[in-house]
């Protein structure tokens, strides 16, 4: 029965909801991308993006600085938002985001360790050492959370959440201690790193991030149906035939890989993972089949806008983009809280 219905229902569902919304967001992203490509310290007319009448300098800036940066903003923003959406679904907790369970902080700890203790490194590691460290730090956090969750025998999300919070605190302590040890230059680098920046965008980082973020994102979308069922509760999901242990493992691993890749190329960018899924839920409802891809697009749009502001507002200097996303995200989040509570409980 199910087998027969599926081919009919799925296209119907796509036609009713998914395609128009996603298409709209896609077009919006494309437009934002075009506009972002034309704004910057070196001004490039909108028509110039298609490649007509560019001076050598404009062309060089466009292809080797601005385009990789825009693509990186799209990838990182999408990755953070998708991971946030998946984690909020998994933990059934509106506050969950990659920062909460310690992934971001332990990446920061790994970066601080490399920066302060490893000293200068030559060649390849000089350029990519910090990225590698951040990636490994993020994966390590995920691994530790797993080991501890397995100790309890049941992969309980509560334990995972609490373990994550403990890891968060421990890593923060570690970062604090290394801050204490660091010299002036190291401290500067570390501080700016924790505020995030897409200024180091190279084609290499775009490629590496894409190869990790896109497959994991698709995997998360494939698990959207099961995430929907999980919203009923862990036991209920199990009764309905969801292999929840596998689901949890898939989601944690995918988000860790995705966020690890994002953080490693951009540093810590706050609030995209937290706020974007909420925004999508408010507008289009909580169905993960739509929530995850729509979050990806909206996250990409948001980070792209924030980064474009970051690199132009104080030109020739540039603002750490993490400041801007938090600055936009913070008030919005407060508004969201007030709205939710005043509506439902009459506060």
How near is the Cβ of 208 to other proteins at its closest, in Å? Answer: 15
The smaller minimum CB distance to other proteins, of residues 136 and 219, is found at: 136
The smaller minimum CB distance to other proteins, of residues 196 and 277, is found at: 196
How near is the Cβ of 329 to other proteins at its closest, in Å? Answer: 20
Pull the structure tokens for residue 269.
Answer: 């960018």
User: H or E element: which one contains 293?
Assistant: helix 288-312
The smaller minimum CB distance to other proteins, of residues 47 and 63, is found at: 63
Cα–Cα distance for residue pair 334/207, rounded to 1 Å? 36
The closest of 270, 327, 320 to 299, measured between CA atoms, is 270
The smaller minimum CB distance to other proteins, of residues 86 and 206, is found at: 206
How near is the Cβ of 84 to other proteins at its closest, in Å? Answer: 22
How near is the Cβ of 146 to other proteins at its closest, in Å? Answer: 28
- For the chain, the first-to-last Cα distance in angstroms comes to 47
How near is the Cβ of 322 to other proteins at its closest, in Å? Answer: 10
Cα–Cα distance for residue pair 169/171, rounded to 1 Å? 6
Contact 61, 51 (CB under 8 A): no
Cα–Cα distance for residue pair 216/139, rounded to 1 Å? 14
The smaller minimum CB distance to other proteins, of residues 266 and 295, is found at: 266
Q: Checking phi first, is residue 42 left (phi over 0); if not, alpha (psi -120 to 50) or beta?
A: beta
The smaller minimum CB distance to other proteins, of residues 267 and 293, is found at: 267
- Go through the chain and tell me how many residues it has: 347
How near is the Cβ of 234 to other proteins at its closest, in Å? Answer: 40
For residue 306, CA distances in Å to 167, 175, 268, 275, 294 come to 29, 26, 14, 14, 18
Pull the structure tokens for residue 133.
Answer: 């460290």
The smaller minimum CB distance to other proteins, of residues 60 and 231, is found at: 60
Cα–Cα distance for residue pair 76/296, rounded to 1 Å? 9
The secondary structure of 67-92 as a DSSP string is HHHHHHHHHHHHHHHHHHHHHHHHHT
Binding site for other proteins (CB under 8 A): 40-42, 57, 60-61, 64-66, 68-69, 111, 115, 120-127, 129-131, 185, 188-189, 192-193, 196-202, 267, 311-312, 314-318, 320
How near is the Cβ of 197 to other proteins at its closest, in Å? Answer: 3
For residue 171, CA distances in Å to 177, 285, 296 come to 10, 35, 28
Contact 262, 206 (CB under 8 A): no
How near is the Cβ of 120 to other proteins at its closest, in Å? Answer: 4
The smaller minimum CB distance to other proteins, of residues 217 and 270, is found at: 270
How near is the Cβ of 99 to other proteins at its closest, in Å? Answer: 18
Contact 123, 162 (CB under 8 A): no
The smaller minimum CB distance to other proteins, of residues 51 and 126, is found at: 126
Cα–Cα distance for residue pair 79/264, rounded to 1 Å? 12
């Amino acid at each position: 029965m199910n087998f027969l219905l599926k081919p009919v229902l799925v296209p119907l569902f796509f036609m009713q909801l998914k395609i128009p919304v996603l298409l709209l967001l896609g077009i919006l992203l494309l437009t934002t991308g075009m506009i972002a490509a034309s704004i910057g310290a070196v001004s490039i007319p909108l028509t110039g993006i298609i490649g007509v009448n560019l001076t050598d300098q404009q062309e060089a800036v466009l292809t080797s600085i601005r385009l990789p940066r825009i693509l990186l903003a799209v990838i990182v923003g999408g990755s953070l938002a998708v991971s946030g959406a998946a984690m909020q679904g998994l933990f059934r907790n509106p506050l969950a985001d990659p920062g909460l369970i310690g992934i971001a902080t332990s990446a920061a700890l790994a970066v601080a360790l490399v920066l302060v203790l490893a000293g200068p490194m030559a060649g390849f590691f000089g350029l990519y050492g910090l990225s590698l460290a951040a990636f490994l730090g993020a994966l390590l956090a995920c691994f530790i959370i797993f080991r501890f969750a397995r100790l309890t025998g049941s992969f309980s999300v509560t334990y995972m959440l609490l373990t994550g919070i403990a890891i968060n605190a421990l890593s923060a302590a570690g970062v604090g201690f290394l801050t204490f040890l660091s010299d002036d230059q190291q401290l500067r680098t570390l501080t700016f790193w924790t505020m995030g920046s897409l200024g180091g965008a190279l084609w290499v980082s775009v490629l590496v991030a894409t190869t990790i973020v896109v497959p994991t994102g698709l995997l998360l979308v494939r698990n959207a149906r099961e995430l929907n069922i999980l919203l009923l509760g862990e036991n209920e999901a199990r009764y309905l035939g969801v292999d929840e242990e596998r689901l949890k493992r898939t989601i944690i691993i995918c988000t860790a890989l995705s966020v690890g890749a994002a953080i490693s190329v951009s540093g810590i960018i706050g609030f995209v993972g937290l706020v974007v899924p909420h925004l999508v839920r408010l507008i289009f409802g909580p169905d993960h089949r739509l929530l995850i891809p729509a979050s990806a697009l909206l996250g990409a749009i948001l980070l792209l806008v924030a980064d474009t502001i970051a690199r132009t507002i104080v030109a020739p200097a540039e603002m750490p983009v993490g400041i801007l996303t938090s600055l936009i995200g913070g008030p919005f989040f407060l508004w969201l809280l007030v709205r939710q509570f005043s509506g439902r409980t009459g506060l």
